[in-house]
């Protein structure tokens, strides 16, 4: 059989893909019949497919390619590290320079006394680490009954059985169930669930659900609260301003650990190194992945504070992955952090890209389909609605309208995702104003076409 390359006809690649490759979060039988798009190369914010199309990637892959595609420095660092030390573990009284250097750098970048890093292969594994870590922490402190972790509905914390149970995605729970001692409270999604309350009143009410849950479950049983500073995969849900200060007050009052899942928000996405800095909260543990290596190598981890590190360190922590602190992934991540820092990419976000994006994004509410437009740094969402004033939902199955809109974006060579009937973006942080202009040409064209399609199908 011929070697499979980028130069094969698209139809042949699609047929082989359909025959042998099971895709994540997909209905694979239907997908195989429809045919996948074959991505062949990428530079900056642009992808190419096997038909020679140029696609603007407004999602930075899966929210991860923060420095943009095509940075040769990372390839060179990976090759150098593979030649020198392609693999070694850190389990049995050994360590290596890439893990040391990356842990030190993360301790420097992370706020407060978040000075210790436990590495994982990605965000899901890191959240599994967190579950075992917070339970071990309370056991070592002589309070083994503190096992319950409170999370939020519609949160995404990963796809392993434990991290998806920690998350609040009902579809995932339906396929693999929950795990013991995880409890979910409601999300601060004012547009969809705020009813007649004003946003700030609603934010406070949703934060106080944490206090109600602690009192109901028993203060002596609650180990931790986990949340994304901005809910990403849930639809870029930005909490009202009243929400986070109240959550912080409650965590402090009841002495529970606060875990910030920074897998999307970390490494510049919200305009600071970490989303907790943007939201003004003080976590004990932060989950990291994605932008840590800008997706060039699979790596994630948990950054933990002095106290947690000290307490779990009292005894053997029965936990670790073959690829914890993988030297090639760690070296690539370190180079990615160097580029983020030395090229002042956070300044570009704060002073150039995010303000420009915000102005244009919020102006989308002039479109007949668009209700609210939310944005924090370089992550943003719009809610599609048949009636802005009443914040109405479409009568069709949730997601029908969002899917139509996403298909129009795809046809217009723009990668924009839908979550239900919300449309979301999270472009590479290095995107330029001219590229943002081009993105909005495609967004507006796609929205207009989606509206025409919805009207044609009688779904308005």
Residues contributing to the site for ligand PMP (CB under 6 A): 62, 122-124, 127, 156-158, 228, 232-233, 261, 263-264, 289, 300
Q: How far is the CB of 228 from ligand PMP (least distance, A)?
A: 5
Distance CA 127, CA 121 (A): 11
How far apart (Å, rounded) are the C-alpha atoms in residues 397 and 455? Answer: 16
In whole angstroms, the minimum distance from the beta carbon of 291 to ligand PMP comes to 11
CB 449 → ligand PMP: shortest distance, Å? 28
Q: How many residues does the chain have?
A: 460
Q: Min. distance of Cβ 290 from ligand PMP in angstroms?
A: 6
Choose between 130 and 385: whose C-beta lies nearer to ligand PMP: 130
Q: What's the closest the beta carbon of residue 359 comes to ligand PMP, in angstroms?
A: 26
Query: Nearest approach, Cβ of 64 to ligand PMP (angstroms)?
Result: 8
Strand pairing class (222-227; 257-261): parallel
CB nearer ligand PMP, residue 189 or residue 451: 189
Closer of 304 and 447 to ligand PMP (Cβ): 304
Which residue, 228 or 372, is less far from ligand PMP as judged by CB? 228
Nearer to ligand PMP, 266 or 402 (CB): 266
Work out how close the CB of 342 gets to ligand PMP at its nearest, in angstroms, rounded to a whole number: 26
Residue number of the CB closest to ligand PMP reads 123
CB of 69 to ligand PMP, least distance (A): 18
CB 7, min distance to ligand PMP, A: 31
Nearer to ligand PMP (CB atom), residue 123 or residue 194: 123
Q: At closest approach, how far in Å is the CB of 237 from ligand PMP?
A: 12
Q: Which is nearer to ligand PMP, 32 or 428 (CB)?
A: 428
Q: How far is Cα 401 from Cα 54, in angstroms, rounded to an integer?
A: 25
Q: Least separation, in Å, of the C-beta of 285 and ligand PMP?
A: 13
- Comparing CB distances to ligand PMP, the nearer of 32 and 300 is 300
Considering the complex, state which of residue 32 and residue 122 has its C-beta at the smaller distance from ligand PMP. 122
Question: How far is residue 98 from each of residues 23, 197, 343, 413, measured CA to CA in Å?
Answer: 32, 51, 21, 38
Per-residue 3-state assignment (H helix, E strand, C coil) for the chain = CCCCCCCCCHHHHHHHHHHHCCCCCCCHHHHHHHCCCCEEEEEECEEEECCCCEEEECCHHHHCCCCCECCHHHHHHHHHHHHHCCCCCCCCCCCCHHHHHHHHHHHHHCCCCEEEEEEECCHHHHHHHHHHHHHHHHHHCCCCCCCEEEEECCCCCCCCHHHHHHCCCHHHHHHHCCCCCEEEECCCCHHHHCCCCCHHHHHHHHHHHHHHHHHHHCHHHEEEEEECCCECCCCCECCCCCHHHHHHHHHHHHCCEEEEECCCCCCCCCCCCCHHHHHCCCCCEEEECHHHCCCCCCCEEEEEEHHHHHHHCCCCCCCCCCCCCCHHHHHHHHHHHHHHHHCCHHHHHHHHHHHHHHHHHHHHHHCCCEEEEEEECCEEEEEECCCCCCCCCCCCCCCHHHHHHHHHHHHCCEECEEECCEEEECCCCCCCHHHHHHHHHHHHHHHHHHHHHHHHCCCC
Q: Decide whether 239 or 263 has the Cβ nearer to ligand PMP.
A: 263
Residues in CB range of 166: below 8 A, 6 or more apart: 127, 131, 149, 151, 155, 157, 158, 179, 182, 226
- Give the Cβ contact number of residue 217 at 10 Å: 14
CB nearer to ligand PMP: give 222 or 419: 419
Residue 234 Cβ vs ligand PMP, minimum distance, rounded to whole Å: 9
Nearer to ligand PMP, 123 or 402 (CB): 123
């Amino acid at each position: 059989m011929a070697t499979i390359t980028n130069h094969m006809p698209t139809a042949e690649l699609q047929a082989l893909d359909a025959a042998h490759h099971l895709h994540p979060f997909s209905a694979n039988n239907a997908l195989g019949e429809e045919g996948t798009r074959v991505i062949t190369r990428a530079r900056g914010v642009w992808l190419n497919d096997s038909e020679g199309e140029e696609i603007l990637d407004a999602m930075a892959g899966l929210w991860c390619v923060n420095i943009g595609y095509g940075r040769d420095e990372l390839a060179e660092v990976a090759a150098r590290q593979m030649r020198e030390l392609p693999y070694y573990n850190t389990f049995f009284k050994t360590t290596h320079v890439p893990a040391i250097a990356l842990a030190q750098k993360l301790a420097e970048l992370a706020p407060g006394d978040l000075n210790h890093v436990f590495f994982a292969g990605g965000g899901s594994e890191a959240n599994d680490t967190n579950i075992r870590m917070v339970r071990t922490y309370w056991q070592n402190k002589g309070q083994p009954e503190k096992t319950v972790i409170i999370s939020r509905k519609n949160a995404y914390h990963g796809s392993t059985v434990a991290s998806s149970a920690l998350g609040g995605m009902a579809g995932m729970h339906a396929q693999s169930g929950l795990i013991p001692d995880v409890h979910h409270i409601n999300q601060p999604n004012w547009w969809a669930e705020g009813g007649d309350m004003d946003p700030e009143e609603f934010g406070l009410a949703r934060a106080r659900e944490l206090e109600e849950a602690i009192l109901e479950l028993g203060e002596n049983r609650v180990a931790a609260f986990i949340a994304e500073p901005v809910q990403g995969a849930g639809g870029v849900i930005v909490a009202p301003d009243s929400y986070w200060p109240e959550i912080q007050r409650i965590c402090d009052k009841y002495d529970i650990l606060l875990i910030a899942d920074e897998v999307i928000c970390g490494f510049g996405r919200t305009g600071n190194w970490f989303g907790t800095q943007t939201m003004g909260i003080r976590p004990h543990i932060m989950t990291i992945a994605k932008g840590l290596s800008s997706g060039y190598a699979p790596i994630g981890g948990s950054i933990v504070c002095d106290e947690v590190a000290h307490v779990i360190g009292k005894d053997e922590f029965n936990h670790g992955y073959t690829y914890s602190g993988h030297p090639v992934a760690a070296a690539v991540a370190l180079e990615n952090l160097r580029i983020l820092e030395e090229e002042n990419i956070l300044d570009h976000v704060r002073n150039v890209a995010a303000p420009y994006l915000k102005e244009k994004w919020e102006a989308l509410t002039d479109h007949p389909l668009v209700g609210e437009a939310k944005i924090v740094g370089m992550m943003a969402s719009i809610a599609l609605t048949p009636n802005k004033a009443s914040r109405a939902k479409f009568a069709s199955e949730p997601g029908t309208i969002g899917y139509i809109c996403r298909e129009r974006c795809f046809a217009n060579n723009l990668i924009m995702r839908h979550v239900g009937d919300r449309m979301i973006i999270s472009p590479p942080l290095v995107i330029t104003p001219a590229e943002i202009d081009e993105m909005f040409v495609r967004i507006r064209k796609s929205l207009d076409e989606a509206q025409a399609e919805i009207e044609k199908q009688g779904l308005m």
